[in-house]
Amino acid sequence: MDTKEIIKKVRKVEIKTKKLTNNVFGGEYQSTFKGRGMTFSEVRSYEFGDDVRTIDWNVTARYNEPFVKVFEEERELTLMLMVDISGSKLFGSEDQIKKNIVTEISATLAFSAIQNNDKVGLILFTDQIELFIPPSKGRSHILRIIRELIEFKPKNSKTDISVALEFFSSIIKKKSIAFVISDFNSDDYEKPLSIVAKKHDLTGIRIFDKFEEEFPEIGFISMYDQESKNYKLVDTSSRKIRNFFKSEYLKKRDFFEKLFKKSGAGVISCRTDEDYVKLLLGYFKNRG
- Spell out the domain ranges in the chain: 3-32+75-287, 38-73
Distance of alpha carbon 200 from alpha carbon 175, whole angstroms? 5
Q: Indicate the helix (H) or strand (E) that contains 129.
A: strand 129-136
pLDDT in tens, 149-197: 999 999 988 899 999 999 999 999 888 999 999 999 888 899 999 999 9
Beta bridge partners of 271: 208
- Sort strands 78-84 and 119-125 into parallel, antiparallel or unpaired: parallel
Superfamily grouping for domain 3-32+75-287: von Willebrand factor, type A domain (3.40.50.410)
The gap from C-alpha 108 to its chain's centroid, in whole angstroms, comes to 10
Whole-structure pTM over 0.85, yes or no? no
> What pLDDT score was predicted for residue 77?
85
> What pLDDT score was predicted for residue 75?
57
Q: Do residues 133 and 148 make contact, with C-beta atoms less than 8 angstroms apart?
A: yes
Tens-level pLDDT at each residue, the chain (288 residues): 566 676 777 877 878 777 777 665 656 666 677 655 555 667 888 888 888 888 999 988 988 899 888 765 555 789 999 999 987 655 545 556 788 899 999 999 998 888 888 899 999 999 999 999 999 999 899 999 999 999 999 998 889 999 999 999 999 988 899 999 999 988 889 999 999 999 999 999 999 988 877 776 666 666 656 556 667 777 777 788 778 878 888 899 999 999 999 999 999 999 988 888 888 888 888 876
Beta bridge partners of 68: 44, 55
> What pLDDT score was predicted for residue 255?
93
> What pLDDT score was predicted for residue 177?
93
Q: Indicate the helix (H) or strand (E) that contains 278.
A: helix 276-287
Beta bridge partners of 60: none
Q: Can you tell me whether residue 118 is helix, strand or coil?
A: coil
201-208, strands of its sheet edge to edge: 129-136, 119-125, 78-84, 177-182, 201-208, 266-271
> What pLDDT score was predicted for residue 210?
83
> What pLDDT score was predicted for residue 99?
87
2-11: list long-range contacts, CB under 8 Å, 24+ apart: 6/147, 6/150, 6/151, 9/150, 10/143, 10/146, 10/147, 10/150
> What pLDDT score was predicted for residue 37?
55
